[in-house]
Chain A
Amino acid sequence: MAMAALRREGRRFAPLVSSPNPINAIRSTLAPAEEQMGLGVRSISTQVVRNRMKSVRNIQKITKAMKMVAASKLRAIQVRAENSRGLWQPFTALLGDTPSVNVKKNVIVTISSDKGLCGGINSTSVKISRALHKINSGPDTECKYVILGEKGKAQLIRDSKKDIELIMTELQKNFLNYTQVSVLADDILKNVEFDALRIVFNKFQSVVSFLPTTATVLSPEIVERESEAGGKIGDLDSYEIEGGETKSEVLQNLAEFQFSCVMFNAVLENACSEQGARMSAMDSSSRNAGDMLDRLTLTYNRTRQASITTELIEIISGASALEG
């Protein structure tokens, strides 16, 4: 039995066996330890710990790779997001962004990601959408959802199923471009009645900070009403509107164009935030896996040394029993 144990461990214990004198002292202290471990625990526990280490190491490699992929995707899309920021600013300067506008029909457009493992950005978007919904649903106002992205859909479909008008997923399968988003915007404008559209997305401030933001786009009738009432949009009246038969036709074109520009920017910013959040989530994942691996290595070494000691005890007690 001792030789089989030796072969299993692949170590040489011959020099130790030949000097029985110090062993008697060790035997008394280690005997309780042997009892604690119990039967059949010796080399099997190292196997278990080793398996665990292997799987944690694999996970660490995967999360490291995911982090690098997210970093490269972020670089590509960040440039485009920054270029598209200049597009909606003239609209806001002209028409204003008034989230406090009081309208009857609100539509909340929630932009979320399709894939998971991206930190908490989808949950924050959904939380804000729900809050907006609560604020804006009263006795004579109604509030509907339009959802872009699988993760938002999964969360909102559970409790607000009857309020959802339109769901669109898998936006990022094809390369995101303005034509695609303008078709989407067209879809929404045709199928959903609204007085005000509130787009909820995560704005990309930097690689570690993503701010949930809402952008408000008003329908042309409301724009006319607000501009006549004065206030922030009152400046619109100082501009003479040309091009097209009537002022309302131009305003409608303007509102539609504004919506598609704002949507384009929102979708790009959300995609940036998704990649950034995934990068930091995978980074902390890899670090956690590294910590776990350190702890498991310590446990493994302790288990290994304990099993060696048990073997030693067995051999030596066997040897001393033989001697007499």
Chain B
Amino acid sequence: MTLNLCVLTPNRIVWDSEVKEIILSTNSGQIGVLPNHAPIATAVDIGILRIRLNDQWLMMALMGGFARIGNNEITVLVNDAEKSSDIDPQEAQQTLEIAEAALRKAEGKRQKIEANLALRRAKTRVEAINGIS
């Protein structure tokens, strides 16, 4: 019994095949999904999606969205998703530094919130690459 995972973004389909298990981060923590999970609809936070194929774990950075799990079919709809193999380590590190600098300079509630979000996104990408090792 395998799960069918579908990760969709507005621009393209990032992942559409069978997996053994996934670990998803939601607003209220991380949930692991195995075959025959109960039906559940949840919001997905900015974080890492771990996918297990046989014995190998793959990481994907997700930028917030929704997930629907039911009948061994998982549909994840996010604003943006990047496989860790597609992220360039140097560039991700640079983006992280820029985001940190922007957060320090941010003034006013709105700018702080936006800078915070940008920082979390950059951190997720860096984690996705480092998580493999």
Query: Which A residues have a C-beta under 8 Å from some C-beta of B?
Result: 80, 83-84, 86-87, 90-91, 94, 177-178, 182, 236, 238-244, 250, 253-254, 257, 261, 264
Q: Is B65 an interface residue (CB 8 A)?
A: yes
Task: Please indicate the chain B residues that have their CB under 8 angstroms from the CB of A240 in the complex.
Answer: 38-41
B8 contacts chain A at the CB level, 8 A cutoff: yes
B77 in contact with A90 (CB, 8 Å): yes
Closest 3 CB pairs of A and B: A243-B43, A178-B10, A243-B42
Distance in Å: Cβ of A178 to nearest Cβ of chain B? 4
Pick from B9, B11, B27, B68: contact of A90, CB below 8 A.
Answer: B68
Say whether chain B's binding surface is mostly helix, strand, loop, or mixed.
strand
A120 to B13, CA, bound (A): 33
Task: Compute how far the CA of A236 lies from the CA of B11 in the bound complex, rounded to whole angstroms.
Answer: 26
Residues of A within 8 A of B68 (CB): 90, 94, 239
Name the CB-closest residue of B to A236: B41
18 contacts between A and B (CB under 8 A): A83-B12, A86-B6, A87-B77, A90-B6, A90-B75, A90-B77, A177-B11, A178-B9, A178-B10, A238-B39, A238-B70, A239-B40, A239-B70, A240-B39, A241-B41, A242-B40, A243-B27, A253-B66
Q: Roughly how many angstroms separate A239 CA and B73 CA in the complex, as a whole number?
A: 13
A239 touches B8 (CB 8 A): no
Residues from chain B with a CB closer than 8 A to the CB of A80 are: 11
Within 8 Å by CB of B28, from A86, A238, A244, A254, lies A244
In the bound complex, do residue A87 and residue B40 qualify as a contact, i.e. CB atoms below 8 Å apart?
no
Q: Does B44 contact A (CB under 8 A)?
A: yes
Set B10, B28, B31: member contacting A87, Cβ < 8 A: B10
Question: Which of chain B's residues 51-69 have a Cβ closer than 8 Å to chain A?
Answer: 65-66, 68
Task: Report the count of interface residues on B (CB-CB < 8 A).
Answer: 26
Interface positions of B (Cβ within 8 A of A)? 6, 8-13, 26-28, 31, 38-45, 65-66, 68, 70, 75, 77, 79
Residue of A nearest to B65 (CB): A257
Residues of B within 8 Å of A84, CB to CB, are 10-11
Residues of B within 8 A of A250 (CB): 41-43
Does A264 lie within 8 Å of B66, measured CB to CB?
Answer: no
Report the Cα distance A261→B77, complex, angstroms. Answer: 10
**Contact partners of A242 in chain B: CB under 8 A:** 26, 28, 31, 40-43
Whether B42 lies near A241 (C-beta < 8 A) is yes
